[in-house]
Chain A
């Protein structure tokens, strides 16, 4: 199971003479970083990497913030049409990317007063080819709301009551009492959002227009097209594109595995 993965990792450190040797050498006799240097220096891999970091962190922050607000409200507060709102949001989880891809592209392109658009959304390119445009599908996700609601519903009800008796304002209760206690929930959702955004391919493919805005997944695909026979640098680039996720996974295995059990539909 791990073989393709380790094969990539080992190959990226092999000198060219050993990459294609027969019989194939499993372990490199000497470790070289030339492929990494090559793929970073001759290609804009640093730029792609940076774009991915910006978009993933941006999505992560927005998603965690708004989902924790809504999740808290759905779990702990009473308000009219609560169930209806929750079902409305939850229902959007099953909408496949096929249906929303074209309309969302047009929506992002025609957003009024963005990227040179007039008030009717005409004339410019809207949020196409921008970091915020790249982040759009990953902010305020239904899954995030669902996850944070589950998280906050485990909190004891007394906590809220005590704060209310002390006369704290509702918003203050959330920001001063609940939010500081939510690190596990927030970090789990943060990891999940980061991974989802980092791995996204179709959306960046659709909305990026220039080399400058490409994310690492797109960059890797183009890199593959150009260097199809230059497997050393290509493997190094592949490692670079996977490393952040692998590192996060190794650090937070437990959350990863339990999150996949609760997400499912994707």
Chain B
């Protein structure tokens, strides 16, 4: 009897300590993560300049959103951005991972160099590429000039600006994807390849019949994480083009920012962010469930 009470007292003590330990984190996440979602939903039904009190306007913002050409154009532009970045990124990073997935002298140096863009701050990366793209003094135009082309105003031209940002973004993302693919490649059991060799498969057949299909969860994961992150694109566009020329690089993240903080139309910006944010959340949920599949 005595031990039972002392055990339950001990459990209560443990539980109390645990609750104290998690308390700050739980409160923080409720206040700064969960509550903002609810608040954002509320704001999307109001007209609000950031000062005074929000004025309830019903579904007016969403009606406006449906008719807003600029919103849909920038959404399409964002999707185009993803559609250009993701497949290129996947292809290049898979190739790199295959190249690197062997014992070789200096492999860790190669890996570090590939990873360097990933850790470069986004603003710094954007500034470097702005210089590379510069129509007058940029190295890229120097090189093009050797072939008698140019000068091309990469970032100042409506037809090239978005693609130029895509190139920078691919450069920056390849190292990260390469590491994920590398982990995927290393998780494929050697025996499968050995068995295939005994059956007389050549390396191309092995790649097409073993490597690619067994990497399917990795492809899905890389794709979904990439989609969620490209849909949030903001910094590189803000730094490199400010959305120009003539809105040709205004992605939806930038449009939301401008609507909220330049035009002080926070109710409407909340409606936009709620629509876009919900899509990103759905994609992220899919990505998380994929990660379990590849168990990393």
Contacts and interface: CB of A to CB of B under 8 A. Distances in A.
Nearest to B11: A78
B124 interface: yes
A121 interface: no
Interface stretch (B27-35, B63-71, B202-210): B27-35
A261 B37 contact: no
A92 B15 contact: no
Interface string A85-120: 100110011111111111110110000000000000
Interface string B4-24: 000000110111111111101
Interface in A1-49: 1-2, 4-5, 7-8, 11, 19-20, 22-24
Contact of B132 (A7, A106, A142, A198): A7
Given A20-B137, A106-B50, A4 B123 contact: no
Given A70-B21, A220-B123, A241-B124, A234 B273 contact: no
B22 A70 contact: yes
Contacts of A4: 117, 125, 128-129, 132, 171
A238 B239 CA distance: 13
A162 interface: no
Given A66-B24, A174-B21, A96 B43 contact: no
A237 to B, nearest CB: 8
Given A22-B142, A99-B274, A170 B17 contact: yes
Contacts of A79: 14-15, 18-19
Interface in B229-278: 229, 231-232, 234-235, 238-239, 253, 256-257, 260-261, 266, 269-270, 273-274, 276-278
Interface residues of B, number: 93
A106 B12 CA distance: 39
A132 interface: no
B36 A107 contact: yes
The binding surface of chain B is classed by DSSP as: helix
B18 A238 contact: no
Contact of B29 (A142, A195, A265): A142
Interface in A39-87: 66-67, 69-70, 72-74, 77-80, 82, 85
Interface string A168-207: 0011001000000000000000000001001101100110
Contacts of B116: 1-2, 5, 246, 249
A260 interface: yes
Contact of A73 (B22, B114, B134, B277): B22
A238 B33 CA distance: 32
Contacts of B50: 106
Interface residues of A, number: 82
B29 A88 contact: yes
Contacts of A151: none
B281 A94 contact: yes
Interface in B142-192: 142, 171, 174-176, 179-180, 183
A253 B22 CA distance: 31
B113 interface: yes
Contact of A72 (B21, B117, B253): B21
A140 B21 CA distance: 12
B159 to A, nearest CB: 22
Contact of A99 (B142, B266, B277): B277
B1 interface: no
Contacts of A67: 25
A102 B121 CA distance: 24
Contacts of A92: 29, 33-34
Given A140-B29, A199-B122, A262-B296, A99 B21 contact: no
A201 B123 CA distance: 8
Nearest to A74: B22
A88 to B, nearest CB: 7
Given A4-B171, A79-B15, 9 more contacts: A4-B128, A98-B253, A99-B36, A99-B281, A103-B39, A231-B137, A249-B115, A257-B179, A264-B287
28 contacts: A1-B171, A2-B114, A24-B139, A78-B11, A79-B15, A79-B19, A88-B29, A94-B285, A94-B288, A99-B274, A100-B36, A100-B37, A102-B260, A102-B266, A102-B269, A103-B35, A107-B31, A171-B20, A201-B122, A201-B123, A202-B235, A224-B239, A235-B131, A241-B121, A246-B119, A249-B115, A262-B296, A266-B229
Interface of A: 1-2, 4-5, 7-8, 11, 19-20, 22-24, 66-67, 69-70, 72-74, 77-80, 82, 85, 88-89, 92-104, 106-107, 136-137, 139-140, 142, 145, 164, 170-171, 174, 195, 198-199, 201-202, 205-206, 217, 220-221, 224, 231, 234-235, 238, 241-242, 245-246, 249-250, 253, 256-257, 260-262, 264-266
